[in-house]
Chains A and B, each alone.
Chain A
């Protein structure tokens, strides 16, 4: 299932947040969206997943999601959004219960996703016992449990320290390599974007519109920290964004 954004614009009251976004999200690819702070990246992601409605334009779903997909458009949030009163297992079963998956079927899915995110030993732990990186692993396994057609990741690694971020990036690359998934990945970290993105969409500052789409043809598995080709791409992205970021930083907030 592909996603297609057709001239999507969005405004809150009289502040225009996004302007005329045309974007295709092809199956099996990770599309990274970067942009200066406040450019509407997260809003764009909420529009894509149907948590908000665009003021103009539309988000289209091309083709049907695979039959086994329980929740086709699934988010991974920056703040993890785990229920603190449920165990790791309970947090995953939460999203299965409502789709009528209980008992041994749910058990099998939970064991599978926990194994894929290396969490099998933490099945009965409460979120408060887990480190930030572990919590995000739980959130990722919860997302995997509903077999999403598209994973919508909203700065999933931004709340983590840089070592944990490296580890989780490796995990994400591992997950994708074993079983390619489609993803829209919002980040403000250019390093993450060049490591994980098949294409990188650069948004301008508010009102956000697409400045450029940078393709990175190197396979994910071959991308390593300190790769000169990636460094060059990252430098190129930074040059694109630098002035915008300076201007965005000096903008007064209207809130």
Chain B
């Protein structure tokens, strides 16, 4: 095989052999390898907003269909300068923080229990599957009866909504922990508690964090729903009020704030992933 290849490369040596045409081998291995392209996301954003601005100014997008981005920005600056921004943002953030924390905390705890104990799994997995698809917003009246019209019912709604996806992500993550590591722990006579805290929990961290990405986005969605429960201040209340008045500029300001909140939370999780999961290959 190799000798015939060599004689092909040096056709001068064997004159009686036919001389073949040389052709480059076609490259077929490209693509299917996502790379991070910096700035492309920002450019898409800027182009989209630029197009909206241009369209509303030139008139081929009517002011009724879309607010002008510069007006939205002006409204935002007003909101900022009057101090109303913080008045709305702070109660929202505290609702989000408390609700999402409760939901994620109990979600991770129950998820780990399901992952570890067969009885808990057999008992709770069907229940979680049953409450997962219930739109939590539909339960608003129930939450009001249980927790009153004040803050606790808002916390409960957000917590309840974050709980189920966190449970599902967590027990999936626990199931995916490399069994050979657990067997290793047993072979060195580690205690049950050590195996859970030093092997199972760190091993399921990647799955738990990617589950939290989803859960926290759901928490933001539910924040708006929670503030339908007679909240005077809050981003959700602000959006609902603007919506009912068809004040598109203010509506868009509120929506943009929620988007930014989502991006920030996702960045925070990304930061933790980098810090906690730098061991991943």
Q: Chain A: residues with CB nearer than 8 A to chain B?
A: 49, 51, 71, 73-75, 77, 79, 81, 83-86, 94-95, 97-99, 126-128, 146
B198 and A94 contact, CB distance less than 8 A: yes
A-B contact list, 28 entries, CB within 8 Å: A51-B183, A51-B187, A73-B187, A75-B184, A77-B180, A79-B180, A81-B181, A81-B183, A83-B198, A83-B202, A83-B203, A84-B280, A85-B205, A85-B277, A86-B279, A94-B188, A94-B190, A95-B188, A95-B190, A98-B188, A98-B189, A98-B190, A98-B191, A98-B194, A126-B278, A126-B279, A127-B279, A146-B188
Q: Is B281 an interface residue (CB 8 A)?
A: yes
What are the residues of chain A within 8 A of B205 when measuring CB–CB? 85
B180 and A85 contact, CB distance less than 8 A: no
What are the residues of chain A within 8 A of B199 when measuring CB–CB? 83
What are the residues of chain B within 8 A of A98 when measuring CB–CB? 188-191, 194
Interface of chain B residues 229 through 281 with chain A (CB within 8 A): 277-281
What are the residues of chain B within 8 A of A73 when measuring CB–CB? 187
Number of interchain pairs (Cβ within 8 Å): 52
SS of B interface (majority): helix
Distance in angstroms between the alpha carbons of A126 and B205 in the assembled complex: 17
Q: Is B62 an interface residue (CB 8 A)?
A: no
What are the residues of chain B within 8 A of A86 when measuring CB–CB? 279
Distance in angstroms between the alpha carbons of A8 and B191 in the assembled complex: 28
A229 → B minimal CB distance (Å) = 35
What are the residues of chain B within 8 A of A127 when measuring CB–CB? 279
Distance in angstroms between the alpha carbons of A79 and B184 in the assembled complex: 10
Query: Which residue from A81, A128, A146 sits with its C-beta under 8 Å from B184?
Result: A81
Q: Is B186 an interface residue (CB 8 A)?
A: yes
Q: A79-B180, A97-B194, A98-B194 are in contact. Are A85 and B202 (CB under 8 A)?
A: yes
What are the residues of chain A within 8 A of B184 when measuring CB–CB? 75, 77, 81
Looking across the interface, which residue of chain B has its beta carbon closest to that of A145? B188
B62 → A minimal CB distance (Å) = 56
Most buried by A among B189, B191, B198, B278: B189
Distance in angstroms between the alpha carbons of A3 and B184 in the assembled complex: 21
Distance in angstroms between the alpha carbons of A122 and B189 in the assembled complex: 26
Distance in angstroms between the alpha carbons of A98 and B198 in the assembled complex: 11
Most buried by A among B183, B188, B191: B188
What are the residues of chain B within 8 A of A99 when measuring CB–CB? 189
A74 and B183 contact, CB distance less than 8 A: no
Chain A proximity mask over B110-132: 1 for CB below 8 Å, otherwise 0: 00000000000000000000000
B40 → A minimal CB distance (Å) = 29
A83 and B181 contact, CB distance less than 8 A: yes
What are the residues of chain A within 8 A of B277 when measuring CB–CB? 85
Looking across the interface, which residue of chain A has its beta carbon closest to that of B199? A83
What are the residues of chain B within 8 A of A71 when measuring CB–CB? 188-189
What are the residues of chain A within 8 A of B202 when measuring CB–CB? 83, 85
A45 → B minimal CB distance (Å) = 10
A110 → B minimal CB distance (Å) = 15
What are the residues of chain A within 8 A of B187 when measuring CB–CB? 49, 51, 73-75
